[in-house]
C-alpha cells in the first residue's frame, strides 16, 4: 500500500497507512519544549491514539497551545480522581468545580475524609506514582445502557444521569488502571506526560496547580483572586440550594416541569444582588460621584447598567449613563497593534486627559459638554449635550478599562465606585467536567452577533481569540480592584441559547479553520435539553442576547 504524504508543521513527511498520530509525534517531540498532547489534521482535532487516514496537513499541540493545555487538565483530573478513589475508596466523590487563574478548584464530598495537608500530600504521592508508571489511558466505546451501568457501579450517579439524556447510542469512556471515567474532550495517551502539577489547600477544598505554558517545567504563578473566588463559592452554594449542580439536574428540571421555577429564582437572585450593589453605592454617597462598570465581552454590561440605574432611582439617586467609548481619540490617532491594525482596546485609544478634566469638573459641581464618538467618521463630536450633577445625582460609566487606575488617576478613590461583571458560571456538566466561562460568553456572543449585528458564527469565532487576548491584558488583571463583583451567569441560559446557537454552528464545516471550536461547542450544547425563553422576564440580562429586552441594548 502506498505511503501517505503529509505536510507536518511545515515539513514534508511520508508515513505508512495506519500510523498513529502519536507515533508521528515521537519523531518531532525534540522540537517541542513540552510533551505533544494533541494533533490537528486539516481542521479536525485528533487524539494521538488515532490513526492517520489521509494526506491533509498535520499540526501538533503541546502545553503552549490552549487545546494542548485542555488535554493536560483532563489527564491530570482523571489521575486525581483515580488517586482519591485508591486512597479513600470507590465511593469517594471528587468534585472539580471551576478555574481560578489557570488552576482548578476541587472539593471532596466525603464528610468522613479529613481534607488536610497530610491527606493532600498522600493523594499527590499516589498521583505521581501513576505518572511515573506511565499507565495507558485507553478510550473504550460502550452502548449507552452499558455506560450507565458502569457509572452506577463506580458510584458516579451524576454521570449515569447525564448519559440518560444522551442521544447517541454509544458512549466513549476512558480507562485508567481498571477505572472508567467520562470526559468532555480529548485525553492524553498515557499518564507519563503529566509530570508537572501540585495540590494545594484552598478554601473548603484544594487547587490543582498546572504548568506555566511559557515555562512548562514550572508551575503557573498563582495570586489569590479572593473577590472572584468568593463569587464562585457563593454560586456553588446557590446551585446546591436549587438542587441544580450539573447539566443532568437542569435537564431533569425541564422534564419535570420545574424550569420556570429555576428562571424565576435566578432572576430574583440577580435582582437581589443588583439591589445590594445599589445599597453599597447609596451608603457611600455623597462622596461617590462616578460608578465605573467593566467586564469581558458578552457579560451583559449594558443590561446590568440599566438595571443598576433602576435600583439607584429606587433609593432616590438620579443616575446619568455615559459610555467611555465616547472618549475615544480620533481614529487616525488610534494606536496600532503588532499587525498594524487600529487597536481600540488599548487604554491609549481613550483621551484620558479630557476624561479626567471632565470628571474633575463634574465632581466640582460644574457643567460640562459631553462628547459623542461618531463611529462612521471616526471622530469625536460635541452636539450640545450638557451635564451638571446636582444633589443626589451620579455618573454611571461603562467601558473595558473601568477598573484600571490608569483610566482616572486624577480622581480620588473616594469619588469612585468600581464594579466588575462577568458570567462566572458554576454549573458543571458532571462531577469531573466543568463548564468554561469563556465558552459560555462565546455562545452568548454568537447568538447576539447573528441576531443583531449581522455577523455569522464563523466571524464571531474568528475574532474571539483577539477579544480574549484584549481581556487578558485590559480587564482580568484589574478585576480585584472592584468594590463589587456581579455574576451575570444564570443556570438556565444554555438551555435557551442552544436553539439559537446550534443552527449557526452547524453552518461551519470542516473546510473552515473555525470548525475546531464549532465542533467543541456543538458537542457541549448537545448535553442540554432545549427550552423556550417564554418565562424569562424582559429586563433579564439574557434578553440582551436573544432579544425582547425592555432596555435599549
113 and 149 in a single domain? The answer is yes
Which of 47, 62, 77 is a domain's end point? 62
- Kindly tell me if the per-residue pLDDT of 1 is higher than 80: no
Please give the residue range of the domain that contains residue 350: 226-546
214 and 232 in a single domain? The answer is no
Look over the chain and give the mean of its residue pLDDT values, rounded to a whole number: 94
- Kindly tell me if the per-residue pLDDT of 466 is higher than 90: no
Lowest mean pLDDT among 250-264, 363-377, 423-437: 423-437
Inter-CA distances, 188 with 17, 132, 175, 326, Å: 22, 15, 12, 48
Residue 78, domain member (yes or no): no
The answer to whether residues 486 and 412 touch, using CB atoms and an 8 Å cutoff, is no
Residue 76, domain member (yes or no): no
Q: Which of 194, 182, 172, 207 is nearest to 72 (CA)?
A: 194
pLDDT band at 81 (very low <50, low <70, confident <90, very high): very high
Model confidence over 88-109: pLDDT tens digits? 998 989 999 999 989 999 999 8
For residue 245, the model assigns a pLDDT of 87
Residue 248, domain member (yes or no): yes
| Domain count within the chain | 3
Residue 232, domain member (yes or no): yes
Give the domain CATH number at 40: 3.10.20.30
16 and 113 in a single domain? The answer is no
Residue 328, domain member (yes or no): yes
Q: Is 142 exposed, middle or buried (0-12, 13-18, 19+ CB in 10 A)?
A: middle
For residue 425, the model assigns a pLDDT of 83
Residue 518, domain member (yes or no): yes
Is residue 544 helix, strand or coil?
helix
Average pLDDT in the 126-139 region?
98
Sign of the dihedral through C-alpha 495, 500, 502, 508: negative
DSSP 186-203: ---SBGGG----EEEEET
Give the domain CATH number at 537: 3.40.50.300
- Kindly tell me if the per-residue pLDDT of 516 is higher than 90: yes
For residue 338, the model assigns a pLDDT of 81
Model confidence over 188-209: pLDDT tens digits? 999 999 999 999 999 999 999 9
For residue 188, the model assigns a pLDDT of 98
232 and 138 in a single domain? The answer is no
390 and 286 in a single domain? The answer is yes
For residue 336, the model assigns a pLDDT of 86
Give the whole-angstrom CA distance, residue 455 versus residue 462: 11
Average pLDDT in the 211-231 region?
93
168 and 237 in a single domain? The answer is no
Which of 219, 251, 279 is a domain's end point? 219
240 and 309 in a single domain? The answer is yes
The answer to whether residues 472 and 66 touch, using CB atoms and an 8 Å cutoff, is no
114 and 53 in a single domain? The answer is no
211 and 230 in a single domain? The answer is no
Amino acid at each position: 500500500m502506498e505511503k501517505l504524504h503529509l505536510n507536518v508543521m511545515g515539513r514534508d513527511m511520508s508515513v505508512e497507512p495506519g500510523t498513529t498520530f502519536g507515533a508521528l509525534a515521537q519523531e518531532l517531540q525534540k522540537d517541542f519544549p513540552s510533551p505533544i498532547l494533541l494533533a490537528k489534521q486539516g481542521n479536525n482535532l485528533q487524539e494521538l491514539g488515532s490513526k492517520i487516514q489521509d494526506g491533509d496537513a498535520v499540526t501538533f499541540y503541546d502545553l503552549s497551545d490552549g487545546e494542548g493545555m485542555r488535554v493536560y487538565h483532563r489527564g491530570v483530573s482523571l489521575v486525581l480522581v483515580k488517586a482519591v478513589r485508591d486512597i479513600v475508596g470507590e465511593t469517594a466523590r471528587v468534585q472539580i468545580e471551576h478555574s481560578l487563574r489557570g488552576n482548578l478548584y476541587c472539593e471532596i464530598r466525603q464528610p468522613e475524609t479529613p481534607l488536610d495537608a497530610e491527606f493532600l500530600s498522600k493523594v499527590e504521592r499516589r498521583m505521581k506514582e501513576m505518572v511515573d508508571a506511565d499507565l495507558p489511558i485507553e478510550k473504550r466505546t460502550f452502548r449507552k445502557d452499558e455506560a450507565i451501568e458502569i457509572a452506577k457501579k463506580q458510584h458516579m450517579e451524576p454521570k449515569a444521569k447525564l448519559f440518560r439524556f444522551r442521544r447517541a447510542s454509544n458512549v466513549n469512556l476512558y480507562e485508567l488502571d481498571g477505572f472508567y471515567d467520562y470526559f468532555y474532550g480529548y485525553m492524553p495517551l498515557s499518564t507519563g506526560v503529566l509530570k508537572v502539577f501540585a495540590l494545594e489547600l484552598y478554601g473548603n477544598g484544594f487547587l490543582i496547580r498546572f504548568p506555566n505554558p511559557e515555562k512548562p517545567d514550572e508551575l503557573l504563578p498563582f495570586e489569590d483572586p479572593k473577590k472572584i473566588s468568593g463569587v464562585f463559592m457563593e454560586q456553588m452554594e446557590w446551585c446546591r440550594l436549587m438542587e441544580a449542580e450539573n447539566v443532568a439536574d437542569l435537564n431533569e428540571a425541564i422534564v419535570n416541569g420545574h424550569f420556570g421555577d429555576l428562571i424565576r429564582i435566578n432572576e430574583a437572585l440577580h435582582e437581589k444582588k443588583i439591589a445590594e450593589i445599589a445599597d453599597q453605592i447609596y451608603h457611600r454617597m455623597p462622596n461617590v460621584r462616578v460608578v465605573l462598570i467593566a467586564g469581558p465581552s458578552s457579560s451583559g454590561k449594558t443590561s446590568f447598567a440599566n438595571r443598576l440605574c433602576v435600583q439607584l432611582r429606587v433609593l432616590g439617586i438620579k443616575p446619568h449613563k455615559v459610555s467611555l467609548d465616547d472618549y475615544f481619540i480620533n481614529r487616525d490617532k488610534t494606536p496600532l497593534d503588532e499587525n498594524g491594525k487600529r487597536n481600540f482596546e488599548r487604554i491609549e485609544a481613550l483621551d484620558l486627559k479630557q476624561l479626567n478634566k471632565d470628571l474633575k469638573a463634574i465632581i466640582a459641581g460644574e457643567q460640562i459638554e459631553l462628547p459623542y464618538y461618531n463611529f462612521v467618521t471616526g471622530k469625536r463630536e460635541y452636539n450640545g449635550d450638557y451635564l451638571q450633577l446636582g444633589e443626589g445625582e451620579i455618573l454611571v460609566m461603562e467601558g473595558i478599562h473601568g477598573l484600571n487606575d490608569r483610566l482616572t488617576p486624577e480622581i480620588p478613590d473616594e469619588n469612585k465606585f468600581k464594579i466588575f461583571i462577568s458570567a462566572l458560571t458554576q454549573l458543571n456538566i458532571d462531577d469531573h467536567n466543568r463548564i468554561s466561562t469563556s465558552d459560555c460568553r462565546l455562545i452568548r456572543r454568537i447568538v447576539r452577533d447573528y441576531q443583531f449585528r449581522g455577523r455569522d458564527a464563523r466571524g464571531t469565532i474568528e475574532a474571539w481569540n483577539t477579544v480574549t487576548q484584549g481581556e487578558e491584558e485590559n480587564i482580568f488583571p484589574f478585576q480585584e480592584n472592584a468594590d463589587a463583583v456581579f455574576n451575570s451567569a444564570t443556570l438556565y441560559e444554555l438551555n435557551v441559547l442552544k436553539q439559537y446557537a446550534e443552527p449557526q454552528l452547524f453552518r461551519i464545516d470542516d473546510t473552515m479553520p473555525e470548525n475546531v471550536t464549532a465542533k467543541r461547542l456543538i458537542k457541549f450544547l448537545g448535553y442540554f435539553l432545549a427550552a423556550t425563553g417564554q418565562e424569562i422576564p424582559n429586563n433579564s440580562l439574557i434578553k440582551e442576547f436573544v432579544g425582547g429586552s425592555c432596555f435599549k441594548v
